[in-house]
């Protein structure tokens, strides 16, 4: 994993969960505590307000203030890659410019997700206008492929076209599609980019293929489990272990389940809150989740 | 269509196209001119910044200022039903409250469209928190079923549940799914609601079944064509005519095509601009569209 001159980020990054207060606003104190704990546990950096961070459910003002709270608490901006994608181009420009002027290492940018099946030309134009609109030479963009939620895939061709048009800006791609064939195609097509993935079980393959690392959700609750997958020559039982965890997680609505696990691990029920239309796990679901984790010996 | 005591809106409403300047901002002068022309042509009212108005591609500030521009120009607020749905609940509250405090007749509210396949409980909770958050007795909500774009259908059960929980607020539903079986189910399930549709060819059936009318896109360019479908005992050739128009429109990306037709009809090229990821029609597409319209004798 060494020696890649253009890698924006590397290793274990966390797609940070967002703690919410009773009125659905970001709980800044808990957010800062959580990020400090993650960094102390060996996480290299955090990507707040992406999908796992329920970014699109928050307002642009909430997202800006959340980034400001992290930086004001002394979290190094080089360790913060905010998710800034919105359905609206103007709002994505606003959040991305805020990330840049705040000194953040870059921005993780979902494609616009309201219109379905936009053309590659249309998505290209959207990112081009974003980059022109931010108009700051410090801007570094990580594209965000998450078709199962955004409904807007970023094909390797489109990624390559953006990277060629904006070589100093479009420096990475987060592939959270969970489709190794797509990741492999990206690695072959845009070897100059920082390629990170969200689907933890593919990490040993990614490391062997020369990928950069991960921005993932499991790191919120079991960073060690993910870190082990980034080492060379991962033992097969490590791969089986993460696969078992993912299977348990996705047996429930995964994001409320992840928050529920964090609530249990930190003994802090406040972590269970989610933004509608997500729904916090019912007590019966929580019990099933806990039993499954206990049975598989996840402490 | 008379005698329904609770109908918020009735007859021909237009899902208004949004004119954009070269920088992608709303062109307020053209917007006001367009709405004035529509009202002079017999359109009862306008729903700006819904899907046809590219609402989710605009920022909340742009959408607020667009409504203010209409009202400042003397358009009666009783004739304005802004689209206020966003992926973010906080932003939807902000826009909906703005519509209410501006005196608009109500708000047309898309469900949150980032998460796919949310549960009915989650979507119910989202609308409930919207209504609680706006906290204004004047609020009137028209729910917006548009599953082919929002990816979040509103089932008749969910609509009935919302209408029962908030009988003074949830007073209507716009069904733009284009599936007559769904519209019929809504009419049977929530007869107390104002049911309007977006799919123009179903209007004669809707009128016969006691529906309220339409909020539709074709009214931007051929309001007479749609108005004729709202009369009792529509001649079959009228139904064939709208079906022919829709077929021509949807042979291209429909929204850029609709804007292109308006640009041609008003001899104003500025109307061709769309927000990315939509792409304005190429000249070859425009020519095909014009030929098809000429061949079918749409003036």
A-chain residues near B94 (CB < 8 A): 59
Q: In the structure, what pLDDT confidence band is assigned to residue B299 with cuts at 50, 70 and 90?
A: confident
Chain A residues touching B57 at Cβ < 8 A: 87-89, 112, 114-115
Instruction: Sort out which chain B residues have CB atoms less than 8 A from A114's CB and list them.
Output: 56-57, 87, 113, 149-150
- Has residue A6 got a pLDDT over 80? no
Closest residue, chain B, to A277 (C-alpha) = B122
pTM assigned to the model: 0.97
pLDDT in tens, A206-235: 999 999 999 999 999 999 999 999 998 899
Partner residue opposite B24 with nearest CB, options A89, A119, A276: A89
* Three-state SS at A233: coil
Nearest CA in chain B to A120: B277
Do B276 and A58 make contact, defined as CB atoms within 8 angstroms? Answer: no
Tell me if residue B144 is catalytic: yes
Distance from CA of B153 to the nearest CA of A (A): 13
Give the CA distances from residue B13 to residues A253, B16, B82, in Å, rounded to whole numbers and listed in that order.
39, 9, 12
| Residue B4 binned pLDDT confidence (cut-offs 50, 70, 90) | low
Q: Specify whether B116 is catalytic.
A: no
* Long-range contacts of residues A22-31, Cβ cutoff 8 Å, at least 24 apart: A22/A273, A24/A273, A24/A275, A24/A276, A24/B89, A24/B90, A24/B129, A25/A62, A25/B90, A26/A58, A26/A62, A26/A65, A26/A66, A26/A69, A27/A270, A28/A65, A28/A66, A28/A69, A30/A268, A30/A270, A30/A271, A31/A66, A31/A69, A31/A70
| pLDDT tens-place string over residues A139-166 | 999 999 999 999 999 999 999 999 999 9
Whole-angstrom distance between the N-terminal and C-terminal Cα of chain B?
A: 30
CA distance B55 to chain A (A): 9
pLDDT digits (tens, 9 = 90+) for B121-138: 999 999 999 999 999 999
Mutate to test the interface with B, among A114, A133, A146 (most CBs of B within 10 A): A114
CB contact under 8 A, B119 and A60: no
Q: Which residues of A touch B88 (CB under 8 A)?
A: 56-59
Q: Scan residues 51-70 of A and list those with Cβ closer than 8 Å to B.
A: 56-62
B119 and A277 within 8 Å at the Cβ level: the answer is yes
Q: Is the CB of B113 less than 8 angstroms away from the CB of A149?
A: no
Q: What is the tens place of the pLDDT at every residue in A241-288?
A: 999 999 999 999 999 999 999 999 999 999 999 999 999 999 999 999
């Amino acid at each position: 994993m060494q020696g890649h001159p253009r890698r924006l980020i590397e290793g274990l990054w966390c797609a940070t969960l967002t703690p919410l207060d009773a009125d659905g606003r970001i709980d800044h104190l808990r957010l800062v505590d959580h990020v400090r704990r993650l960094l102390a546990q060996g996480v290299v950096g955090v990507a707040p307000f992406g999908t796992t961070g329920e970014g699109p459910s928050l307002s642009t003002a909430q997202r800006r203030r959340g980034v400001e709270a992290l930086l004001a608490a002394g979290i190094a901006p080089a360790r913060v890659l905010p998710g800034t994608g919105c359905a609206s181009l103007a709002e994505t420009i606003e959040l991305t410019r805020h990330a840049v002027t705040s000194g953040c290492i870059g921005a993780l940018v979902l494609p616009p997700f309201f219109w379905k099946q936009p053309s590659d030309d249309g998505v290209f134009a959207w990112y081009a206008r974003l980059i022109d609109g931010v108009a700051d030479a410090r801007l570094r963009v990580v594209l965000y492929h998450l078709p199962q939620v955004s409904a807007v895939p970023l094909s390797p061709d489109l990624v390559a076209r953006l990277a060629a048009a904006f070589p100093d800006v479009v420096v990475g791609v987060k592939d959270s599609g969970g489709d190794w064939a797509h990741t492999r195609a990206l690695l072959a097509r845009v070897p100059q980019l920082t390629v990170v993935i969200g689907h933890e079980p593919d990490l040993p393959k990614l490391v062997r293929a020369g990928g950069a690392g991960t921005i993932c959700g499991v790191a919120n609750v079991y960073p060690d489990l993910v870190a082990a997958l980034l080492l060379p020559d991962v033992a097969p039982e490590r791969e089986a272990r993460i696969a078992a965890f993912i299977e348990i997680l996705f047996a429930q609505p995964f994001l409320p389940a992840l928050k529920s696990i964090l609530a249990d691990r930190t003994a802090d029920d406040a972590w269970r809150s989610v933004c509608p239309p997500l729904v916090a796990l019912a007590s019966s679901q929580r019990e099933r989740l806990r039993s499954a984790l206990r049975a598989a010996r996840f402490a």
